[in-house]
Amino acid sequence: MFVFEDISTFTDKDIQELLKNAETSQWAMALKGTTAALKEKVLGNMSQRAATMLTEEMDYLGAVRQTEVETIQQQVVDIARHLEEQGAISRQSDDDSEQYVQ
């Protein structure tokens, strides 16, 4: 089962692809109440200007209902699943010990 917090296990490249496919307003709501590590990972994959704007939008939202946050997080998860089905991103599982060589 894939949940929003699993995004923290994505590679930087995959997070960047996901960032391109989800609206900034979705990210602002979805990141409310998440771990600092996940926020840091997402914001670290944005330009400094975009990260500042997203942080400001999150602050502007103020307190929001948990159910609203969970709804938007599910939308982002759905986008990630769609991208995974298309082969644009790939999730590494805990048992993904396969190594690659060139």
> What would the mean pLDDT of 72-80 be, rounded to a whole number?
96
Domain of 57 in residue numbering reads as 4-86
- CATH number reported for the structural domain that contains residue 75 in this entry: 1.10.220.30
In a domain, 59, yes or no: yes
- Contacts of residue 9, defined as CB under 8 A and 6 or more positions apart, other chains included, come to 91, 92
In a domain, 91, yes or no: no
In a domain, 92, yes or no: no
Decide if pLDDT at 95 tops 80: no
In a domain, 95, yes or no: no
Q: What mean pLDDT value characterizes the chain? A: 90
In a domain, 38, yes or no: yes
In a domain, 28, yes or no: yes
Give the pLDDT score at 100.
54
Indicate the number of domains in the chain.
Answer: 1
In a domain, 101, yes or no: no
In a domain, 26, yes or no: yes
> What would the mean pLDDT of 11-34 be, rounded to a whole number?
95
* DSSP element (H, E) containing 76: helix 66-86
